[in-house]
Amino acid sequence: MIETPWVVGTRPALPLAEGLGAELDELPPVVLDPAWSGAHRIEEWREGGRTAPSVDRAVVAVWPEVREPCSVVDLDLEAWTARLETTFALWFAALAAAGERCGPGGRVVAVVDRPAAKDSAGRAPESACADAVEVMVKSLAQVHHGRGVRMHVVTTSERLSGSPGPPLTGVVGAVGMLLSPGGAGVATAVLRAGPGW
């Protein structure tokens, strides 16, 4: 039996929350401009969560709207900031908050889009975010290791590739495994989930 996790993320992650039988605690719908003038909203969200009760299981899914592949030289600065820097900033704040909020012995799973390697042309923002999230989780796992908190990553190309089939089944299954009693001994895992080989 898996305890219903706290799922925090952006609105496109609602199907994931539903798949996990949870509500979505929605991040502020921030789109940063090149000066990051909207970043205070992320800080306000973070500060507002400091007094929230602790949780045993957390899932973080900062999922932007899926965009078409685009060469970096065709991305103007506003598009670049919206597509990469905004997502990066939200991920950093949300993961750090999840690590803090998770109680002793708890678990956190980040679910991030990762384009298939051979399909990553035009997907530089998504590739960069995926690598960054994996490493954010590894950093935070070191921070919270002393409290027995374990942190993991599930990557998926499912949203980016528009794969047919039951949506998110593989992702939900991978998250559920990491949060289950059987996953208690797994340490800082990075799992690929979704359709495909």
Partner 1 sequence: MTAGDGPVVVVTGASGGVGRGIAIACGAAGWSVWVAARRPVEGRRVAEEVTGAGGHGSFVACDVGDGDSVASALAAVIDQEGRLTGVVHNATSGRSPQPVVPAAVPMADLRDHVMVSVRGAYWLAHHALPHLVASRGSMVLLTSEAGFQGTMRLAPYAAVKAALRGLARSWAREWGHDGVRVNCVAPLAESPALAEAMAADPTMAERVLGRHPMGYLGDPVDDVGPVVRFLLSDEARYVTGVTLMADGGNAPIT
Side-by-side strand order, sheet with 190-192: 24-26, 6-9, 55-61, 102-113, 150-156, 190-192
- Smaller CB separation from partner 1, 15 or 122: 122
The nearer residue to partner 1, 120 or 180, going by C-beta atoms, is: 120
Residue 58 touching partner 1 (CB under 8 A): no
Of the candidates 127, 188, 174, 151, the residue with the CA atom closest to the CA atom of residue 57: 151
With respect to partner 1, which residue has the nearer C-beta, 59 or 75? 75
CB of 46 to partner 1, least distance (A): 7
User: Judged by CB, which is closer to partner 1: 80, or 167?
Assistant: 80
185: closest CA among 105, 109, 112, 111? 105
Q: What are phi and psi of 151, to 5 degrees?
A: -130, 140
Q: Which of 6, 88, 152, 159 binds partner 1 (CB under 8 A)?
A: 88
Q: Give helix then strand counts, H and E, for the chain.
A: 7, 6
Asked whether position 120 contacts partner 1 by CB under 8 A, the answer is yes
Please tell me whether residue 122 binds partner 1 under the rule CB under 8 A.
Answer: yes
Residue with tokens 């909020």: 101
Q: Position 142: which residue type?
A: Q
Q: Which spans of this chain sit near partner 1 (rule: CB under 8 A)?
A: 36, 39-40, 42-43, 46, 71-73, 75, 77, 80, 84-85, 88-89, 92-93, 95-97, 99-100, 115, 117-118, 120-124, 126-132, 134-143
